[in-house]
Amino acid sequence: RKEVEQDPGPFNVPEGATVAFNCTYSNSASQSFFWYRQDCRKEPKLLMSVYSSGNEDGRFTAQLNRASQYISLLIRDSKLSDSATYLCVVVNSGTYKYIFGTGTRLKVLA
C-alpha cells in the first residue's frame, strides 16, 4: 500500500461546479498536510496547508480527518484556470520528509 494515495482522475467538471478530492495516508504519526497544485511541466506550488480544524481560502476548503486518515480539498465555483493536477503532501514526524501523492488531475470545461 502506498503511503499517500489519491484518485488520479481525471475529474472533468463544468465551469462553476463544485468538486472535491480526497487523499488517504497510511502513517498515523503524520504531522503536517498540504495541498499543492502542479501545472503541466511545471514545479508544484503550495495551494494551502491543512489544519485539524479545517481551513478555507477563498473558493478552496481543506479538511483533515485524523481518525480516518484522510485529507480533502473542496473547490467551489470552478474556473477554467483551476485545471491542473492537485498533489496531496504528508509530512511524517521524525523524518520531516515530504511524501507526495500521485496527484488528482482536474479539468474544468467551458
Residues that bind another protein (CB under 8 A): 8, 31-32, 41-45, 87, 91, 96-98, 100-103
| Least spacing, CB of residue 77 vs another protein, in Å | 27
| Least spacing, CB of residue 104 vs another protein, in Å | 11
Nearer to another protein, 24 or 101 (CB): 101
- Residues 24 and 18: their CA atoms lie apart, in Å, by 20
| Least spacing, CB of residue 100 vs another protein, in Å | 4
What the block records as the C-alpha cell of 57 is 481560502
- Residues 93 and 95: their CA atoms lie apart, in Å, by 6
- Residues 1 and 55: their CA atoms lie apart, in Å, by 28
Nearer to another protein, 75 or 90 (CB): 90
Work out the end-to-end distance of the chain between its first and last CA atoms, rounded to an integer number of angstroms. Answer: 37
Nearer to another protein, 43 or 110 (CB): 43
